Amino acid sequence: MRISFGYELVYRCMQPTPMLLMLHTHWSRAGDLVVADKIHTSPYVPLRTYRDGFGNLCTRLIAPPDRIQIAADGVIDDDGLPEPECPAAMEHPIDGLPDDVLVYLLASRYCETELFMQLAWNQFGQTRPGWARVQAICDFAHQHLSFGYQYARPTKTAWEAYQERAGVCRDFAHLAISLCRCMNIPARYCTGYLGDIGVPPSDVPMDFAGWFEAYIGGAWHTFDPRNNQRRIGRILVARGRDAADVAISTTFGANFLESFRVWTDEFVDDGALGVPMLLQQRFG
């Protein structure tokens, strides 16, 4: 299947404002792109890219005073299947983990493992190690937190979400990541697109999604405590220790986010509209 995806962000800045964007499809999906999600700005400003320490592709620009639109529209091939399960995947002893995985066992900005340690071992110490334990952690986060955009707060940590029993997808992921790390299971935060393909459509505006990956059985596996089911059409944008590493935009100056749209839909080419025409149709 093919999926059309993209975004439109409109900022209003008080002065020339440097910005860092993390909005490109992750390099691991580059071979699946049919139409690359190239960033367009209005008015035009020069863009330059670099890769951060986690391998994510980032974009730098200086937004002019007043209004700037930042947008992209892409098409990607997908196998159309739910994400695979691997129930036999087992945990690794610490001394058997690859060196580059060890950082995902440590506390980070939004994941205060030291506060969760006793809770984690009391709750999951007797569960079967490996896939079953990670799934038990996802079940716990899914049941413990209530989802709602009104619960979003940029400073909210996993511990605060746990105490308040509410949050958005990133809070579900942060809680599960913290509990996994307490159990010596490396876990990293992921952000990207997740549309309503294969599930009942949501009646709320789409946002970028947050989930996580756990390192078990010698590989990274996707888990989503917010939805707590294997999904179709997930498109990765960036990975990091937690949401602090993968902010979609970081601005250095006074600004106001005037509008924000994200979309991802199964793309059906009926012959009347070719793939190269998508961007022109979307933005005129």
- Domain segments of the chain as ranges: 2-80+247-283, 94-232
Average pLDDT, the chain: 94
Question: Comparing C-alpha atoms, which of 276, 266, 239, 254 is closest to residue 58?
Answer: 239
Q: Mean pLDDT over residues 186-202, rounded?
A: 94
Identify the pLDDT of residue 205: 80
What are 255's strand-pairing partners? 13
How far apart (Å, rounded) are the C-alpha atoms in residues 256 and 70? 14
Portion of the chain with pLDDT greater than 70, in percent: 94
Q: What is the CATH number of domain 2-80+247-283?
A: 2.60.40.2250
Q: Residues 201-236, buried b or exposed e (16+ Cβ, 10 A)?
A: eeeeebbbbbbbbbbbbeebbbbbbbbbeebbbbbb
Pick the CATH number of 94-232 from 3.10.620.30, 3.30.460.10, 3.30.1330.20, 3.90.870.10: 3.10.620.30
* pTM for the structure as a whole: 0.93
Beta strands in 119-168 (DSSP E): 146-147, 166-167
Percent helix, percent strand, percent coil in the chain, to nearest 5 = 25, 35, 40
Is the pLDDT confidence value at 284 over 50?
no
Name the band, by pLDDT with cuts 50, 70 and 90, for residue 274: low
Out of 6-10, 105-109, 222-226, 278-282, least confident range: 278-282
Is the pLDDT confidence value at 221 over 60?
yes
The answer to whether residues 261 and 208 touch, using CB atoms and an 8 Å cutoff, is no
Q: Is 1 helix (H, G, I), strand (E, B) or coil?
A: coil
Name the band, by pLDDT with cuts 50, 70 and 90, for residue 270: low
